[in-house]
Copies of this chain bind each other. A is one copy, B any other.
Amino acid sequence: MKPKVGLITLGVRDLAASLRFYRDGLGWPTHKYNPEADIVFFALEGAWLALYPRDKLAEDASVPDGQGFGGITLAHNEPSPEQVDAAYAQAIAAGAKPVKPPSKTFWGGYSGYFADPDGYMWEIAFNPFMDLT
């Protein structure tokens, strides 16, 4: 498993307000921003940052919001579904708590979630549309 955090996602309450803060306030460039969508990506040097409604992020990770979910997920991307399975298996073997076994996602990718020893949520993902590996 390559040592890399590819994406940090902040679960936000008011996407428009957070977008104003990061894009207009800090001046960070968005990546292919679609005002109709409820996710915003910032193409940063190194790890990317994404804003996504907090309740939907909790749902995506299949954890109940409010019950220890901190609102942030870290993602590690792999170049194929098979490598997602392998990285997920490695994390579980290392003692991670299985949260959502890798499966096909509604957005056309393949991903799973595990919790690290402190409960921090990691997504292992294959994204055929955006290379974050």
Interface residues of A (CB under 8 A from B): 1-6, 8, 10-14, 17-18, 20-22, 24-29, 42-47, 49, 54, 70-72, 74, 90-91, 93-96, 116-118, 120
Chain B's closest residue to A4 (CB) is B45
A120 B72 Cβ-Cβ under 8 A: yes
Tallying the copies of this chain within the complex gives 2
> When chains A and B are docked, how far (Å) is the Cα of A3 from the Cα of B18?
15
CB proximity of A97 to chain B, nearest CB, Å: 11
CB proximity of A43 to chain B, nearest CB, Å: 8
B14 A117 Cβ-Cβ under 8 A: yes
8 contacts between A and B (CB under 8 A): A3-B42, A6-B46, A10-B120, A20-B95, A22-B116, A25-B91, A26-B90, A70-B72
Other-chain residue from B14, B42, B44, B117 in contact with A12 (beta carbon distance below 8 A)? B117
